[in-house]
């Protein structure tokens, strides 16, 4: 039995930094240099934050037999995350390009083959075996995620969906859209961009998309807006928060993962699945949100190319410093 089980996309990130911008209108946009390789995927980084917060985390994912799988294994072991890695045809790779100041310029991930996806039967089996209090999913393995969510609810687990950037709205047909909608309806908490919610609601207004989503089952929607602004929406809550002041330029790669991971850490370590709906209120959401925003500000101040996972003491110190300078 574990506290939190994560199921979803995992990849090996290749991190490049821009070293020369194109000088002529017909020249290459920029030239880059490989700086590092590291574990990638929002679900593993979120699990790392939860592990740091004292929740025992376990990850289920699929990798290949290639050399990239070693990057994934080392990363999970470094973060102390238990794992079951299934063998597929290859390990997914992401190409991450950073500006010279560390801010994210672009990111590209290879698409998965059908053979690289997790089967529903496997997801059901692992949920039953691990008996997690919390289940975190992304929108990559839709069929397996829906099966895992339904199984988790039968054992009283709380289900969280983090689609991971815009991956969850990358569909080619209406049947794929409906599958994503079915997945969202199977979750208790959804953390996604405004674009994600509106796209899945067929480009309705954001307020209408959020209201309709709450009617299908979720209890809390966390919406990431432009410039680091976040909105928290439930049947009795509509709260919008600005990001904490931070350096104007700095590392932004992985910043969203740290926000989501530490927001969930702040929320889940003070709640349990049985009391979640009953005790979900503005004060609890606000406290967790501030922890997530502190993690985002903390990342912006770091010089490390590869995202590291802060301690809660680092975030509490940052919040104290911020509060002492507030007018």
User: pLDDT value at position 173?
Assistant: 75
Q: How does residue 113 score in pLDDT terms, banded at 50, 70 and 90?
A: confident
How many other β-carbons are positioned within 10 Å of the β-carbon of residue 2? 18
Mean pLDDT computed over 99-121:
83
* Mean pLDDT value across residues 165-185: 75
- pLDDT for residue 305: 83
Which distant-in-sequence residues (6+ apart) come within 8 Å of 320 by Cβ? none
For the chain, which residues make up each domain, given as ranges?
4-10+44-91+115-325
In this structure, the strands spanning 104-109 and 230-234 are unpaired
This prediction's pTM: 0.92
Whole-number Å distance between alpha carbons of 308 and 98: 16
Q: Bridge-partner residues for 224, per DSSP?
A: 193, 230
Specify whether the CB–CB gap between 116 and 90 falls below 8 A: yes
What's the pLDDT score for residue 25? 47
Task: Kindly give the pairing relationship between strand 11-21 and strand 30-40.
Answer: antiparallel
Tell me if 80 sits within 8 A of 52, measured CB to CB: no
Q: Is the pLDDT of residue 30 over 80?
A: no
- Is the pLDDT score of 325 beyond 80? no
According to CATH, the topology of domain 4-10+44-91+115-325 is: 3.40.1190
pLDDT value of position 103 = 81
Q: Is the pLDDT of residue 181 over 50?
A: yes
What mean pLDDT comes out for the span 119-136?
A: 96
Of the chain, the percentage scoring pLDDT greater than 70 comes to 92
Q: In the structure, what pLDDT confidence band is assigned to residue 145 with cuts at 50, 70 and 90?
A: very high
No. of helices (H) and no. of strands (E), the chain: 11, 13
Residue 88 neighbours by CB under 8 Å, 6+ apart: 62, 63, 64, 113, 115, 116
pLDDT of residue 327: 44
Confidence (pLDDT) at 169: 59
Q: For residue 154, what pLDDT band results from cuts at 50, 70 and 90?
A: very high
Question: How much is the pLDDT for 117?
Answer: 85
Which of 134-138, 164-168, 177-181, 191-195 has the lowest average pLDDT?
Answer: 164-168
Mean pLDDT over the full length of the chain: 88
pLDDT tens digits, one per residue of 34-83: 889 999 888 999 999 999 999 999 999 999 989 999 999 999 999 999 99
**pLDDT tens string 224-265:** 988 889 999 999 999 999 998 875 566 788 899 999 999 999
Model confidence pLDDT, tens digit, residues 284-317: 999 999 999 999 999 988 888 888 899 999 999 9
Question: Is the C-alpha dihedral spanning 230, 231, 237, 239 positive or negative?
Answer: positive
């Amino acid at each position: 039995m574990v506290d939190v089980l994560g199921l979803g996309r995992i990849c090996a990130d290749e991190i490049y930094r821009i070293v020369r911008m194109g000088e002529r209108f017909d020249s290459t946009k920029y030239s880059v240099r490989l700086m590092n390789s590291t574990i990638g995927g929002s679900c593993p980084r979120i699990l790392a934050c939860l592990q740091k917060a004292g929740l025992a985390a376990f990850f289920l994912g699929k990798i290949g037999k290639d050399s990239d799988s070693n990057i994934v294994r080392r990363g999970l072991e470094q973060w102390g995350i238990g794992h079951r890695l299934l063998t597929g045809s290859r390990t997914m790779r992401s190409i991450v390009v950073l500006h010279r100041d560390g801010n994210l310029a672009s990111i590209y991930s290879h698409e998965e083959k059908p053979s690289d996806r997790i089967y529903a039967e496997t997801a059901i089996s692992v949920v039953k075996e691990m008996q997690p209090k919390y289940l975190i999913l992304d929108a990559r393995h839709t069929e397996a995620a829906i099966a895992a969510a339904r199984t988790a609810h039968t054992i009283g687990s709380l289900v969280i969906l983090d689609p991971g950037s815009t991956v969850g709205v990358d569909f080619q047909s209406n049947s794929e859209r409906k599958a994503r909608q079915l997945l969202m309806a199977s979750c208790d908490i959804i953390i996604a961009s405004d674009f994600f919610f509106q796209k899945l609601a067929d480009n309705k207004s954001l307020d209408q998309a959020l209201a309709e989503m709450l009617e299908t089952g979720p209890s809390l929607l966390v919406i990431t807006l432009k410039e680091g602004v976040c909105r928290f929406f439930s049947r009795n809550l509509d709260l919008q928060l600005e990001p904490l002041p931070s350096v104007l330029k700095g590392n932004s790669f992985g910043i969203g993962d740290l926000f989501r991971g530490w927001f969930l850490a702040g929320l889940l370590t003070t709640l349990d699945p049985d009391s979640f709906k009953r005790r979900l209120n503005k004060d609890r959401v606000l406290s967790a949100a501030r922890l997530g925003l502190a993690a985002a500000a903390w990342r912006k101040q770091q010089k490390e190319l590869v995202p590291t996972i802060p301690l809660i003491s680092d975030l509490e110190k940052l919040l104290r410093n911020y509060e002492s300078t507030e007018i």
